[in-house]
Amino acid sequence: MDPSNAVLTIGELADYLKIPKSTVYKLAQQGKIPGQKIGRHWRFSKQAIDQWLEQTHKLGKGTGRR
């Protein structure tokens, strides 16, 4: 399986981004991070997350306060 096509859980994404799970939940529920809710569970495409990180970096927009 190609790692760039990986699907991440909330916990895996929190580890990947090095942020708390609660922050990932909040961002997902607010539609600020690309993800899909499947039943009661959130899933995230690693490729989409990497693109989102690039875009937010280029635009100078982070998810936190400065």
Q: How far apart are CA 25 and CA 52, in angstroms?
A: 16
What are the tens digits of pLDDT across the range 10-52?
Answer: 999 999 999 999 999 999 999 999 999 999 999 999 999 999 9
The domain defined by 3-59 carries CATH number 3.90.105: yes
8: which strand partners?
44
Q: 58 pLDDT band (50/70/90 cuts)?
A: confident
Tokens coding 20: 């708390």
* The model's pTM: 0.80
- Helices 10-17 + 21-29 axis angle, to 10: 110
Q: Is the pLDDT of residue 55 over 60?
A: yes
Domain residue spans of the chain: 3-59
Q: How far apart are CA 66 and CA 47, in angstroms?
A: 26
